[in-house]
Amino acid sequence: MKNKLTRRDYLLNRIYEELKQANTTRHYAELLIDNQVLNSKLFNIVIAMLSSSGAILYFIETYYAFAATISVAIGTVLNQFFPVFF
């Protein structure tokens, strides 16, 4: 004897599958957002450290301040053009 699904069972199964897919999508979207927030915080910390080190090392050698400024500028421009990586 074959087990035939009724129309009601078929619709309930489809609703269940859609809810399962929506829950999975929501979960992974939250993980992606959390990852992007963490990357943004780390990027800002690195930029702050580079800026501070450039200002402090300016008194030793102006080359260090110039290198830090260029690094900050390049990092900021890359962050604007490729925000998904930072």
Domain borders along the chain are: 7-85
Half-sphere exposure of 47 (CA within 13 A, CB side): 15
Residue 70: per-residue pLDDT: 92
pLDDT digits (tens, 9 = 90+) for 34-79: 998 998 899 999 999 998 998 888 888 888 888 888 999 998 998 8
In one-letter notation, the amino acid at residue 17 is E
State how far the alpha carbon of 12 is from the alpha carbons of 2, 15, 36, 70, in Å.
19, 5, 36, 60
Residue 16: per-residue pLDDT: 95
